[in-house]
Chain A
């Protein structure tokens, strides 16, 4: 289990899906069991990544494995010397974990799809797309430089485009895919500018090299402001991919794609890539950048949660919950709760995937009915689905003994501590509020879907539990959303191996005065050192968080936990009250809060807003410009042409004289000169003679010989 072997194997993992893609796209129709092939490929990839993860986390836990090769080299550039652009992979703990997560979920989704997508006309194409997606996602996970990150970023965008628009016959689907790609492009553009800033200053794309230079005190354009800018701009990429406000609009629409796809891409992996990116650039984030990120995350989670409250499409609800959870993670990153953010990313990946696949099986059972108001009482029909779905719901609501509880609680604690340290109390406040809402709408969903009495008898009767290949993934994922995978202590995540051993907050490289106070490294006086921390410090020789941050975390831990449990419970209670026991009439309530309700139901009218402003504006502008171009520019630049037309309309000789006319206005002059000369050609020879005689005389007078 040498480094080289691990690196090579992870390369194999990376390229296996691409292989599958190539195979399926070109001869998918010819291979009968092509989907099995692809699934098998994913399975082997999974095994390999388990192997890699195991090796990495058990043998090289504190060490980053890197291998790279020069892709483009620009030798002896004037003033800059050599510029090299490398391709390379880097395996650190994050990578190892992500490898596992991605391959696992991808595999499960493959498995799930075998039944779900059966009989689709473009069956093999579907698997091909899944393959290219997995490839790009793994690329993001593995890469060690930001250019490659960007490349795979775009490729992921492409595959998401293809998968969302998989049923492109539906206008809505092709619209959604286009929207997704474009909205992502917005973020990516920002990200690219960020990359440009880095490259311009460091002439490389490799993270470590860049960070090393920053640590050495070489700031972009020698100003911390640019560093902040770089951070925020790159973060914009994450805003796009992780559907953060204001670019979150694409994700709900993306639900037009097949449900397994939603599970894989739009719940578990791709959207998480944004968080992963932030984790990657975490060390170069200045305080301002982090605050921005935190706020954006906060806003996102809040908006999404509020919207999720009122949606009736099962997938829409899940979509918005995803958005809000992603907002959580981003927020956590922003407040410096790096570990918990990533932790939540992993746990969320599992239970959200579970939820989506569950919804998939529901939809499958209901013959592609997605409106929860037409469901109900499915509990009996779909026991497995129900069980798994419920587990995942508990997890997302942060009920104890679930993985969700662990990560979410830590995350909330992080925000709480942040409040303590910086006084930005708004962030924790919103965070907890969202926790409440989450619990509420998730249980609303469960209750309306599975409990009560069926509303659509006909569909209900035909509903049936999903076959094994669909059930299996649900079960796996459900089990994965239970606490013991992550740590022995169901109450305190940080003691679990996941956080204590694998995921460490990396040392920031930002100059001191640009950090939050609590992230400043200060000389530690011997007394106040906790043993746990020293142990950590001993393991990773970097100190990221100051003493009193740790202190604050401990201080925040239990209040946060308690608060979250209470709020979660409250939310669940509320849900039951309203939809199970009908104590509170939901519709009445809705009427009472009419405006608010509609506001939430219509997703804060954000789509309409964008439609009116950006999209409408651009299209209008483009139309105006096109007119301007054809009329004005054309008109002015070859105005002579129009001039020609105007002048030579006499006799409608436009075509005849266009050649004379168009070159330039002189053409007219020339024409008239011509006419003038033509006058002389009267055809009367005697007139000619007169001319000759006169011209002789005139010539004599002009060229009077010298001395005349």
Chain B
């Protein structure tokens, strides 16, 4: 039971608990905020896994970007005052069943498999350099592709969201 473990369990707890809240909270705002903690917890796990850069990105993109987007979404689609904000749930039973089954299967698989595990050393310095190199050499294609993807996403989002002017 070393410090590493403690930290791990801490983050794990944060992640899972908050995630649980996310999917169960009746108040949408609660779940939105607890999502923040989930992301945070995941970031923590990344750190534990020696992926500092990913962790940072996780915080920046998710917390800074996606979460904000989601909050915007919440705000735009609900009036805080309205009763709407409490959203109901549906088909609980199949959901629980499905989720439980899925989890069971996954855990069975994950636990039951002997993964080829040779622990990699923690990187001496931040992984940013290495990542940057890989990104622009091995994965340059995907890197470019993502560029286009983002462009498409931008255009698409704009198309959908922008007000339809009654032309044509």
Do A and B originate from a single complex?
A: yes
Interface residues of A (CB under 8 A from B): 686-687, 690, 693-694, 697, 700
CA distance A340 to B102 in the complex (A): 114
| Contact among B91, B102, B105 with A687 in the assembled complex (CB-CB below 8 Å) | B91
What is the interface size of chain B, counting residues whose CB is below 8 A from a CB of the partner?
8
B101 with A686: CB separation less than 8 A: no
Interchain CB contact under 8 A, B105 and A697: yes
B105 with A694: CB separation less than 8 A: no
Residues of chain B with a CB closer than 8 A to A694's CB: 94, 98, 101
Let me know if B102 and A697 touch, CB within 8 A: yes
Considering only CB atoms, which chain B residue lies closest to A701 in the complex?
A: B105
17 A-B pairs whose Cβ atoms sit less than 8 Å apart in the complex: A686-B90, A686-B91, A687-B91, A690-B91, A690-B94, A690-B95, A690-B98, A693-B98, A693-B102, A694-B94, A694-B98, A694-B101, A697-B98, A697-B101, A697-B102, A697-B105, A700-B105
A687 to B102 alpha-carbon distance, docked (Å) = 16
Q: Which residues of chain A are within 8 angstroms of B91 by Cβ–Cβ distance?
A: 686-687, 690
Please provide the chain B residues from 39 to 85 with a CB less than 8 Å away from any CB of chain A in the complex.
none
In whole angstroms, how far apart are the Cα atoms of A480 and B90 in the complex?
A: 118
Complex: A597 Cα to B94 Cα, angstroms: 101
Q: Which residues of B contact A (CB under 8 A)?
A: 90-91, 94-95, 98, 101-102, 105
Report the Cα distance A687→B91, complex, angstroms.
Answer: 8
- What are the nearest 6 A-B pairs in CB distance? A693-B98, A690-B94, A697-B101, A690-B98, A694-B98, A697-B105
Cα distance, A697 to B99, chains bound together (Å): 11
CA distance A686 to B94 in the complex (A): 11
Contacts of A700 in B (CB 8 A): 105
B98 CB contacts on chain A under 8 angstroms = 690, 693-694, 697
**A553 CB, min distance to chain B CBs, angstroms:** 114
Q: Which residue of A lies closest to B94 (CB)?
A: A690
Find chain A residues with CB under 8 A from B105 CB.
Answer: 697, 700
Min CB gap A557→B, angstroms? 118
With the chains together, A686 CA to B99 CA distance in Å?
Answer: 13
* Secondary structure call for the A interface: helix
**Which residues of B lie under 8 Å from residue A690 when comparing CB positions?**
91, 94-95, 98
> In the assembled complex, how far is the CB of residue A588 from the closest CB belonging to chain B, in whole angstroms?
110
> B157 to nearest A CB, angstroms?
20
Known: A694-B98, A697-B98, A697-B105. 13 other contacts (CB 8 A): A686-B90, A686-B91, A687-B91, A690-B91, A690-B94, A690-B95, A690-B98, A693-B98, A693-B102, A694-B94, A694-B101, A697-B101, A697-B102
Chain B residues lying within 8 Å of A693, measured Cβ to Cβ, are 98, 102
Minimum CB distance partner of B90 in chain A:
A686
Nearest-neighbour CB distance to chain B for A113, whole angstroms, equals 92
Nearest-Cβ distance from residue A692 to partner chain B, whole angstroms: 9
User: Which residues of B sit under 8 angstroms from A697, Cβ to Cβ?
Assistant: 98, 101-102, 105
A694 to B95, CA, bound (A): 10
User: Which of chain B's residues have a CB closer than 8 A to the CB of A687?
Assistant: 91
- Report the separation of the CA atoms of residues A693 and B102 in the bound assembly, to the nearest whole angstrom: 8
Q: Which residues of B contact A686 (CB under 8 A)?
A: 90-91
- Alpha-carbon gap, A686 to B90, bound state (A): 9
| Least Cβ–Cβ distance between A289 and chain B, in angstroms | 93
Bound-state CA distance A687–B92 (Å) is: 11
Question: Closest CB of chain B to A398's CB: distance in Å?
Answer: 113
Instruction: Give the CA-CA distance A686 to B102 in the complex, in Å.
Output: 16
A690, B94: Cα distance in complex, Å: 7
Bound Cα distance from A664 to B98, whole angstroms = 40
A392–B80 CA distance with the chains assembled, in angstroms: 130
Chain B residue nearest to A700 (CB atoms) is B105
| Minimum Cβ distance to chain A for residue B104 (Å) | 9
A700 CA to B95 CA in the complex, in Å?
18
Contacts of B94 in A (CB 8 A): 690, 694
- Measured CA separation A693–B90 after assembly (Å): 16
Please give, as numbers and ranges, the residues of chain A lying within 8 Å of B95 by CB-CB distance.
690
Taking the closest CB of chain B, its distance from the CB of A704, in whole angstroms, is 11
Shortest C-beta distance, A660 to chain B (Å), equals 32
Instruction: State in angstroms the CA–CA spacing of A697 and B94 once bound together.
Output: 13
Taken together as a complex, chains A and B put the C-alpha atoms of A690 and B102 apart, in Å, by 11
Q: What separation, in Å, do the CA atoms of A258 and B35 have in the docked complex? A: 115
**Assembled-state Cα–Cα distance A433/B95 (Å):** 112
**C-alpha spacing A93/B158, complex, angstroms:** 116
Least CB distance from B102 to A in Å reads 6
CB distance from A331 to the nearest CB of B (A): 101
**A586 to B95 Cα, complex, angstroms:** 114
A686–B98 Cα distance when bound, in Å, is 12
Closest to B104 in A: A697
List residues of chain A with CB within 8 A of the CB of B90: 686
* B91 nearest CB across to chain A (Å): 6
Q: Which residues of A contact B101 (CB under 8 A)?
A: 694, 697
How many angstroms from the CA of A697 to the CA of B101 in the assembled complex? 8
CA distance A261 to B98 in the complex (A): 101
Q: What's the least CB distance linking A535 to chain B, in Å?
A: 122
A286–B109 Cα distance when bound, in Å, is 102
Nearest to B108 among chain A residues (CB) is A708
Nearest CB in chain A: distance from B108 CB, A:
10
CB neighbours of B102 from chain A (8 A): 693, 697
How distant is the Cα of A693 from the Cα of B95 in the complex, in angstroms? 9
Q: Provide the bound-state CA to CA distance between A686 and B87, in Å.
A: 15
Q: Which residue of B lies closest to A690 (CB)?
A: B94
User: What's the minimum C-beta distance from B49 to chain A, rounded to whole angstroms?
Assistant: 27
How near does chain A come to B23, taking the closest CB pair, in angstroms?
A: 13
Q: Which residue of B lies closest to A687 (CB)?
A: B91
Q: CB-nearest residue of chain B relative to A694?
A: B98
Minimum Cβ distance to chain A for residue B101 (Å): 5
Query: What residue of chain B has the Cβ atom nearest to residue A692's Cβ?
Result: B98
Nearest CB of A to B89, in Å: 10
Find the A residue at minimum CB distance from B101: A697
Give min CB distance, B107 to chain A, whole Å: 13
Instruction: Give Cα A241 to B18, complex, Å.
Output: 112
The CA-CA distance from A690 to B93 in the complex, in Å, is 11
For residue A705, give the distance in angstroms from its CB to the closest CB of chain B: 11
Task: Tell me the minimal C-beta distance from A608 to chain B in angstroms.
Answer: 85
Q: How far is the CB of B168 from chain A (nearest CB, A)?
A: 31
Chain B nearest Cβ from A24, distance in angstroms: 83
Query: B88 → chain A, closest Cβ, in Å?
Result: 12
B71 CB → nearest A CB, Å: 23
The docked-state distance in angstroms from the alpha carbon of A395 to that of B93 is: 117
- A690 to B99 CA separation, bound complex (whole angstroms): 9
Complex CA distance for A693 and B98, rounded to whole angstroms: 7
Min Cβ gap A317→B in Å is: 101
Complex CA distance for A79 and B105, rounded to whole angstroms:
81
Q: Which residue of A lies closest to B95 (CB)?
A: A690
**Complex Cα–Cα for A638 and B131 (A):** 74
Q: Give the docked Cα–Cα distance between A700 and B90 (Å).
A: 26
* A166 shortest CB reach to chain B, Å: 83
Q: In angstroms, how far is the closest chain B Cβ from the Cβ of A545?
A: 110
Give the shortest distance, in Å, between A591 (CB) and chain B (any CB): 105
CB distance from A94 to the nearest CB of B (A): 103
Nearest CB of chain A from residue B94's CB, rounded to whole Å:
5
- Interface centre among B98, B102, B105, by most A CB within 10 Å? B98
**Separation in Å of the B19 CB from the closest CB of chain A?**
17
Q: How far is the CA of A176 from the CA of B91 in the complex (A)?
A: 87
A77 to chain B, nearest CB (A): 80
Min CB distance A683 to B, Å, is 13
- Distance between Cα atoms of A349 and B105 in the complex (Å): 112
Bound-state Cα–Cα, A687 to B90, Å: 10
The CA of A694 and the CA of B94, in the complex, are separated in Å by: 9
**Separation of A596 and B86 alpha carbons in the complex (Å):** 112
| Candidate in B95, B101, B105 with the most chain A CB atoms within 10 angstroms | B101
Separation in Å of the B144 CB from the closest CB of chain A? 32
